[in-house]
Amino acid sequence: MESTSRLFADQEGRLVRMIGMDGTRRPYYSHAGTTGFIETDSRGEFVEMEGRKRYWRGIIRDYPDQLLALEDFCVCILKPDAKGAELREEVLEWLQQDLAILYQKEIWLDKEDVFRLYPYFFEEEWENELLGYMTSDSSLLIIVKGDDVYRKLSALKTRIRQKYAARDGHPVRNLVHCSDDKDEAVREALVFFKDGELCDLINS
């Protein structure tokens, strides 16, 4: 590798760097457990790791300024393996302590929903496990907002996984998902809401 540019968002919204290799500069991706140059074949774009192609499946769009200017909020999803009453009661009680729950609904994800929630380069085995798991049963969608929401939800996610997650299960079976930042929260929320609906919800 000869040279590296600063991190930037490409036309698909992916964070990449342009890296020089053999006199040419190519996009290099490193996220979600996948690292490598973005290549293209007849099936689409992929990153090759350990001799296997991981294909890009997601959809990321440009967001209007009004969405990115919303108050900080977080998308929290209790996944299909988070069905226990004790777990759900603990999560909801914790959220209500110093955050505002704006929305709560039982949802059933389909394949396209999963690809929009996880628009990353996954190896085939991981992708199949993720799709089977996330579409196997209903999940609980929760939208919350409040001060320092991303740090608080990250701490909650870690605590719930440490307390309830099966020690011998596949890594995708990890009970709860929470947005890491505003951009991710907006992208994920738009899987379930139209632009205007999201603005009305967060501003309520």
pLDDT, tens digit (0-9, with 9 covering 90-100), for 151-186:
999 999 999 999 998 888 888 899 999 999 998 999
Asked whether the predicted pLDDT for residue 12 surpasses 90, the reply is no
- Is 172 part of any domain? yes
Per-residue pLDDT at 127 exceeds 60 = yes
Residues 114 and 197 in one domain: yes
Q: Note whether residue 88 is domain-resident.
A: yes
Is 75 domain-assigned? yes
1 domain residue, yes or no: no
**Is 155 part of any domain?**
yes
Confidence of residue 25 (pLDDT cuts 50, 70, 90): confident
Residue that terminates a domain, selected from 17, 36, 56: 56
Structure confidence by residue, pLDDT tens digits, 34-86: 889 999 988 789 998 888 888 888 767 778 889 989 999 999 999 999 999 99
Q: Provide the 10 A C-beta neighbour count for residue 42.
A: 4
Are 52 and 70 members of one domain?
no
Domain count within the chain? 2
* E-state strands within the chain: 8-9, 15-21, 24-31, 34-41, 44-49, 52-56, 73-78, 100-107, 121-122, 139-145, 176-178
**Do residue 93 and residue 145 come from a single domain?**
yes
Record the pTM: 0.82
Domain of residue 136, residue span: 65-203
Pairing assessment for the beta strands 100-107 and 139-145 based on DSSP bridges = antiparallel
Name the DSSP class of 72.
P
- Nearest one of 16, 31, 197 to 119, comparing CA atoms: 31
Q: CATH number of the domain that 161 lies in?
A: 3.30.70.141
73 with 35, same domain: the answer is: no
Q: What is the dihedral of CA 9, 14, 19, 23, to 10 degrees?
A: -90
Q: Are strands 73-78 and 100-107 parallel, antiparallel or unpaired?
A: unpaired
Answer yes or no: do 74 and 103 share one domain. Answer: yes
Residue 139 lies in a domain: yes
Q: How far apart are CA 184 and CA 35, in angstroms?
A: 20
84 and 155 fall within a common domain: yes
H-run or E-run covering 152: helix 149-164
Assess if residue 149 is contained within a domain: yes
